[in-house]
Chains A and B, each alone.
Chain A
């Protein structure tokens, strides 16, 4: 008995003290490195992840014991690939299995460098990201750092996204980010978000000194992407960083000052940028979910599956956002409702209702008059914004036409008919009454007899 009690207490204690992962996906991270020693280069970065309760497993991509899946399920929640040079990936970890990993909802942070292998280039192409050729670097003769070694490749990133779902305000407005690595070109698919890019004088080319740029570079100017992020349709996130050095201890602690500029910062923005970027990639922020959804007729509360055309209904949806390690009310103001039958018939922006701080979701509401077309409609909230996880909430309702007795009863054009019918009825009743009670007058009787 005592033994049983002890076991019960133990289970309870484990339940209470179990560490809740901060990420909404999980806390198992696989770190792929070119060589074991590389771990020391990024010690600060990895420590900060461990402080955020992630369990890091360091492996080489050439290690045949590492497997992304066990029995068909993801064995890790996130992958940090800091092994750009490795060409020979093993069977278990390769671009295809990484792609499957994303399809199963895993998140990937990919660090590249000028020596990026073709294997990883192929992987990036799957996401409409085109890294420049091997041995090319981002060069900017205008925005290189004063600690540059004469190659003008240690650059201060010029453009940074102002998307606060991904980066916090103090990172966006803070000191610039130090970057040395390879450029990439982003495609036009809407799943991609540009996070960090170079200035308008930058370009991507080989850095041999005795050479002249004689072929058009892959990307020039502000099209030179340094960091971009992709959120797949299943909300898995993949972040492409053209420089693994961006995460290194050396760059984290380095002061930053642009050449020919008096403005200097004692510490580059890299550490905070890396923190925000991993928070976003590992689903610690910008995660949305629908907590409830309801629609009903005005002045009623019951949710129906069948409405009439031209009915006035009220549609409400509650959306919650994960940020700062807890679920809170979402602050977006552009959530839209759609009533769709093949094409959207109605699209309306929902009104966000005020919330109190302890509420974990915000209610969005709209008064809608249903269209005068009957059929099976889908009420949909399709909220896709870069940086936020996608919301696609739909409910199917049928909309029926007027029943025979729901049409207006009195139409002015039919007044003569109503009058005719009423006149007939009154005439019939009156005639019947007279027929019953009439006493024939004598003059007619006389006429008859005569």
Chain B
């Protein structure tokens, strides 16, 4: 009888606790016994610290490849100080570089004891492909509690060689400008070299003029009989015109324009040339030369 009474009372108490937890919903979580440890691949314990709950671990926690990060803590109800098993218990790593979040799911035992591990040997690719500083936060929430808990544990410093995670996905947006690099102009020899060869090319003129001076070259026939040398002047003029035409061909005329002009000029040159040469023959026979 007494036993059943006690039973009923305990059941009532249990129901009451259940009801308060559902109706009042003012309960908070509390975290205790937070301990973190980092073990290297040679099983050497690099770091072992316990953190008093509301404060964060102020030094960055360094993790290199092969390291194993462990964290244990207890989740309790603030009022009853009993362990709770929340729906959501995540340890999230938030990249300080790009805000990318990597969650680690924590299994909480019925008595609230929890253990979470980040083994760099089997870490998610997302983490390995972008090393750097990550903010380490513990998020605990459940349906029956109004106030979830977010606790900043500290900062992780992931120091691993960057693993390429394949080609980066295409993102639409402005692309970098491309300025075409033009082939450089061909290198020319120094200008003084060109000028000195020009001078060398002109040297024969010295000999020519010297030789002409020595033999006493003159144009006295032109002065003596200007009227009879008209044809010769015209012939020389047509030769000069042909040379000027060739110069123009070189600079801007095309072959068809040039040939048209050349036809006309060569007829003139042919006729005047024939006359001029017969004049020369005439002078010679007259003994004028």
Within 8 A of B (CB), among A210-233: 211-217, 220-223
B179 sits at the interface (CB 8 A): yes
Beta-carbon nearest neighbor of A191 in chain B: B172
A443 contacts across to B, CB distance below 8 A: 216
Q: Knowing A151-B143, A213-B105 touch, does A437 contact B169 (C-beta < 8 A)?
A: no
Q: Knowing A438-B219, A444-B215 touch, does A415 contact B198 (C-beta < 8 A)?
A: yes
Nearest CB in chain B: distance from A347 CB, A:
4
Chain B 199-226 per-residue mask, 1 if CB under 8 angstroms from chain A, else 0: 0111011001000100111111110100
A253 sits at the interface (CB 8 A): no
B174 contacts across to A, CB distance below 8 A: 334, 336, 349
| A212 with B86: CB separation less than 8 A | yes
Q: Knowing A222-B101, A384-B172, A444-B215 touch, does A423 contact B141 (C-beta < 8 A)?
A: no
Nearest CB in chain B: distance from A11 CB, A:
45
A440 contacts across to B, CB distance below 8 A: 289
A188 contacts across to B, CB distance below 8 A: 169
A439 contacts across to B, CB distance below 8 A: 218, 220-221, 224, 288-289
Chain B 147-185 per-residue mask, 1 if CB under 8 angstroms from chain A, else 0: 110100000000000000000011111111111101100
Chain A 426-438 per-residue mask, 1 if CB under 8 angstroms from chain B, else 0: 0111001110111
Pick from A75-83, A199-207, A352-360 the stretch touching chain B: A199-207
Please report the C-alpha to C-alpha distance between residue A336 and residue B252 in the assembled complex, in whole angstroms: 39
Size of interface on A: residues with Cβ below 8 Å to B: 70
Kindly name the residue among A259, A412, A436 whose own CB sees the greatest number of chain B CB atoms within 10 A: A436
Chain A 237-259 per-residue mask, 1 if CB under 8 angstroms from chain B, else 0: 00000000000000000000001
| B175 with A336: CB separation less than 8 A | yes
Chain B 74-110 per-residue mask, 1 if CB under 8 angstroms from chain A, else 0: 0000000000011111101010000101010101100
| A416 with B194: CB separation less than 8 A | yes
Please report the C-alpha to C-alpha distance between residue A432 and residue B86 in the assembled complex, in whole angstroms: 116
| B217 with A200: CB separation less than 8 A | no
Partner of B105, one of A216, A423, A434: A216
Kindly name the residue among A212, A369, A412, A444 whose own CB sees the greatest number of chain B CB atoms within 10 A: A212
Partner of A141, one of B141, B212, B216: B141
Partner of A142, one of B89, B150, B197, B254: B150
Interface secondary structure of B, over-half rule: mixed
| A371 with B180: CB separation less than 8 A | yes
Beta-carbon nearest neighbor of A348 in chain B: B177
Chain B 239-255 per-residue mask, 1 if CB under 8 angstroms from chain A, else 0: 11001000000111010
B177 contacts across to A, CB distance below 8 A: 336, 347-349
| B194 with A437: CB separation less than 8 A | no
| A215 with B276: CB separation less than 8 A | no
Partner of A213, one of B87, B169, B229: B87
Q: Knowing A220-B90, A419-B201 touch, does A437 contact B221 (C-beta < 8 A)?
A: yes
B94 contacts across to A, CB distance below 8 A: 200
A interface, CB within 8 angstroms of B = 139, 141-142, 150-152, 188-190, 200-201, 203, 205, 207, 209, 211-217, 220-223, 259-260, 310, 334, 336, 338, 344-349, 369, 371-372, 384-386, 405, 409, 411-416, 419-420, 423, 425, 427-429, 432-434, 436-441, 443-444
Jot down 24 A-B pairs with beta carbons below 8 A, ordered by A: A141-B148, A142-B148, A200-B92, A207-B143, A211-B87, A212-B86, A213-B105, A220-B92, A221-B103, A334-B173, A336-B174, A346-B178, A371-B182, A412-B189, A413-B194, A415-B194, A415-B195, A419-B198, A423-B202, A425-B243, A429-B239, A436-B221, A439-B221, A441-B218
B interface, CB within 8 angstroms of A = 85-90, 92, 94, 99, 101, 103, 105, 107-108, 139, 141-148, 150, 169-180, 182-183, 188-189, 191, 194-195, 197-198, 200-202, 204-205, 208, 212, 215-222, 224, 229, 232, 236, 239-240, 243, 250-252, 254, 276, 280, 288-289
The 6 closest A-B pairs by CB, nearest first: A141-B141, A188-B169, A141-B148, A221-B101, A416-B197, A437-B219
